[in-house]
């Protein structure tokens, strides 16, 4: 295997491990991984003598009678993109939209929506294209699953896209999902476009249908119940603008899972008032390694 392909695999696994270790948003670490994989692929294409480029080894390729890629490429192909426009379109979804859902439902549930939705989209694509040669790459199926889940779980939610367009109003998230779908169709329409319509639609359908089931799964959260918290304590600890914004979201949330997610985010951003170190919530109290403790 091309050394750059091994490097791409290390980047993918490292992104997931870093997110778990540092409790960073998986959506953003995956976005970074996708960019790095794209750069590794571009570099491998420039250097001859190393064997097939990253694209050829990590993409899901099916040419009956000629070549069928290994089964594990159904996962790695999510991180491979066909060109700069394809890459940038998916990065917009990763950076501007998907972190909002991850912060609300938690990283584990978000990962299930994204990865299982991407695989479901690939399955739909493979069934529709059965017997035909194809190369399937990109994270669009997973992104559409996340947008579909967002629209199903928060149908009244409106999103303001951070784009350089003055006066751009907030729009319902389902409009964003459909707009993203139509934009991808428009950019890659035509015989040379090669868009996997089936994977996009399959991912969107997965998110719309299965999001409520995924929300039933227990999520790792704080041991304290938000309804039992002394919010006055949190008020005194919210010394930065970011913490105050998170606390406002925590107060206004009306779904237990959402409240727990905002509480976890508050704790993750909180610094110990004594040593300025990280703070953890254990057995109903905020604790720091220096010995500082604040019951809730």
> Residue 164 pLDDT > 60, yes or no?
no
The mean pLDDT of 189-212, rounded to a whole number, is 80
As given in the structure block, the two tokens for residue 89 are: 């379109």
pLDDT tens readout for residues 222-269: 434 445 566 778 888 888 888 888 888 887 776 666 677 778 888 888
DSSP label at 132? S
Query: Please, what's the b/e burial string for 224-252 (b: 16 or more CB within 10 A of its CB; e: otherwise)?
Result: bebeebeeeebeebbeeeebeebbebbee
Comparison of pLDDT for 272 and 104, the residue scoring more: 272
Q: Tell me the pLDDT band of 217, cut-offs 50, 70 and 90.
A: confident
pLDDT tens readout for residues 130-139: 888 999 999 9
Instruction: Give CA 123 to chain center in angstroms.
Output: 20
- How many CA atoms are closer than 13 Å to the CA of 28, on its beta-carbon side? 14
User: What would the DSSP string read from start to end of 255-268?
Assistant: SHHHHHHHHHHHHH
Q: Would you call 67 helix, strand, or coil by DSSP?
A: strand
The least confident of 48-52, 66-70, 77-81, 191-195 is 191-195
> Residue 188 pLDDT > 80, yes or no?
no
Count other Cβ atoms within 10 Å, centred on residue 52.
14
pLDDT tens readout for residues 23-57: 888 999 999 999 999 999 999 988 866 667 899 99
Whole-Å CA distances, 240 to 77, 88, 208, 246, 274 = 41, 33, 36, 10, 16
Mean pLDDT of the chain: 84
- If residue 5 lies in a helix (H) or strand (E), which one and from where to where? helix 3-22
SS3 breakdown of the chain: % helix, strand, coil, rounded to 5?
60, 10, 30
Q: Where do the domains of the chain lie, and which CATH numbers do they carry?
A: 3-215 (1.20.1540.10), 226-295 (no CATH)
Comparison of pLDDT for 272 and 177, the residue scoring more: 272
pLDDT tens readout for residues 77-123: 999 998 898 899 889 888 878 888 888 888 999 999 999 999 999 99
CA distance 107 to 276: 26
Q: Would you call 60 helix, strand, or coil by DSSP?
A: strand
Cα Rg for the chain, rounded, in angstroms?
A: 21
């Amino acid at each position: 295997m091309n050394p750059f392909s091994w490097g791409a695999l290390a980047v993918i696994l490292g992104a997931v491990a870093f997110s778990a270790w540092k409790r960073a948003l998986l959506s953003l670490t995956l976005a970074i991984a996708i960019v790095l994989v794209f750069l590794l692929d571009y570099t491998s294409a420039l250097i001859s003598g190393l064997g097939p480029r990253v694209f050829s080894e990590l993409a899901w390729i099916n040419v009956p009678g000629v070549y069928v890629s290994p089964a594990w490429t159904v996962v790695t192909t999510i991180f491979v993109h066909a060109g700069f426009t394809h890459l940038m379109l998916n990065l917009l979804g990763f950076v501007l939209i998907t972190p909002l859902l991850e912060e609300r439902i938690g990283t584990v549930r978000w990962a299930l929506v994204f990865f299982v939705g991407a695989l479901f989209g690939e399955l739909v694509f493979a069934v529709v294209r059965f017997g035909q040669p194809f190369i399937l790459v990109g994270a669009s199926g997973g992104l559409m699953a996340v947008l579909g889940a967002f629209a199903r779980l928060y149908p009244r939610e409106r999103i303001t896209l951070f784009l350089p367009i003055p006066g751009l109003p907030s729009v319902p998230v389902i409009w964003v999902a459909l707009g993203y779908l139509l934009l991808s169709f428009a950019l890659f329409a035509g015989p040379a476009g090669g868009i996997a319509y089936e994977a996009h639609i399959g991912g969107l359908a997965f998110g719309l249908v299965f999001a409520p089931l995924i929300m039933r799964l227990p999520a790792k959260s704080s041991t304290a119940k938000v309804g039992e918290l002394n919010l006055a304590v949190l008020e005194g600890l919210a010394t930065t603008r970011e913490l105050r914004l998170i606390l406002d979201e925590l107060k206004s949330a009306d779904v237990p899972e959402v409240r727990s997610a905002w509480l976890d985010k508050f704790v993750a951003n909180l610094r110990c008032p004594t040593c300025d170190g990280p703070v953890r919530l254990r057995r109903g109290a905020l604790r720091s390694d220096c010995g500082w403790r604040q019951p809730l």
